[in-house]
Chain A
Amino acid sequence: MTKKENKNITEDVEFGLDSRYSSNKEKQSEATALMEARLERMKNLSKDQIIRAKLMQLRLKMEDYIQHPVYEKHNYFSEFLKIYIDTLYTKRIHFAHDIDITPIRLSQVINNHREPKDEFLKRLMVHSEKVYENICEFQEETWYQLYFHEKLYSIMARKKEWKPKVAKHVKYSK
């Protein structure tokens, strides 16, 4: 291939990639070969590389939730928090120690028996900054956004319960 031909190809590749397999047979045979090769390569993944991938996944899931919150009865904040801690630590008590809170307080937040205090959220923010520093971009406000999305949902979902009581105390005097 001449240099000019090669240059033309490089200019063209980015505008048109047709990556479809020509037949199901080809697709299947490529899939089998690819899986075998991947399993070999995966054997060489270090623990650190696996943790990095899990943390990237967690970040992407949290971003998705913030952009498109799904209002269900799950407590996503504590679910995400559990994944975060369990990815990084073998025992949750070690995380509690690292952010200087009692293991009981952490357990209460994780199990939705207590709301996270502002100080907890701030420490979690700083902890995440340190963890993600050398892994990928991480928006520092992420945990707060998760928490307040859920708070908002919880308030709006229970509007019928609290609104009549609250309304008794509210008037608009011109």
Chain B
Amino acid sequence: MFPNYVNICYICSMVITEISTGKKHKVEIVPVENSDFKTLGKDRYFFDWKTEKEYEVFKLQIIGSTEALGLVSMERIPSEWRVHIRLLTVSVENKGKGKKYDGIAGNLMAFTAKIAVRDYAEFACLSLRPKTEIAQHYIEKYNMTPTGLTLSIMVPEILELINSYDHD
């Protein structure tokens, strides 16, 4: 009955924090256009994003800016009521101790969680398959559950993830 929107974008309800000032900035997460891929080099975004062109790729940017501060590619798997994150990154200046903004990766996680819940409601599942050594981080920070090599988050925890990054 309702259309599945290609240009999903959650504006206004998501913010990131500028670490040096504590100032909060409203962000939007928008689809990466074909023409954007040439600006998404490995030097700033750590992966070869061109290989993700056949999947859904989104970028997080401060409202009013077009600079990608973070990227995520994902695959919707309707037969399993699941959204699987394939790649997720923040830009080079937002990595590690000296990073400029906080909350980029978390907002990208919450964004994909929203897509899962929007599409599959109580059956929604967000999954990822991290390398073994970093799995614990995702289990602790996002309350994910391991099954084999895959981590997943479902109702009710997935709703908590969305709420923790939803701000008016």
* Residues in chain B near residue A9, CB distance under 8 A: 133-134, 137
Complex Cα spacing A173 to B87, Å = 63
Having A16-B88, A17-B130, A30-B129, one finds 14 other A-B pairs with CB under 8 Å, namely A9-B134, A11-B97, A18-B87, A29-B148, A31-B77, A31-B80, A34-B148, A49-B122, A49-B156, A54-B122, A61-B2, A136-B159, A136-B166, A137-B166
B: residues with CB less than 8 A from A are 1-3, 5, 7-11, 13, 46-47, 77, 80, 82, 84-90, 92, 94-97, 104-105, 114, 117-118, 120-125, 127-131, 133-134, 137-138, 145, 147-150, 152, 154-156, 159, 162-163, 166-168
User: Can you identify 18 A-B contacts, CB atoms within 8 angstroms?
Assistant: A11-B95, A13-B134, A15-B96, A17-B105, A19-B85, A19-B86, A19-B88, A21-B129, A33-B148, A41-B145, A41-B154, A53-B117, A56-B121, A57-B117, A64-B5, A76-B2, A137-B163, A137-B167
Complex Cα spacing A76 to B152, Å = 33
Contacts A64-B5, A68-B5; A54 near B121 (Cβ below 8 A): yes
* Residues in chain B near residue A17, CB distance under 8 A: 85, 87-89, 105, 128, 130, 134
* 0/1 string, A36-52, CB within 8 A of B gives 1: 01100110010001101
Complex Cα spacing A26 to B84, Å = 14
With CB as the reference atom, state the residue of chain A lying closest to B8: A64
Complex Cα spacing A122 to B71, Å = 40
Interface size classification for chain A = 35 or more
* Residues in chain B near residue A53, CB distance under 8 A: 117, 121-122, 124, 155-156, 159
Q: Which DSSP category, helix, strand, loop or mixed, fits chain B's interface?
A: mixed
With CB as the reference atom, state the residue of chain A lying closest to B96: A11
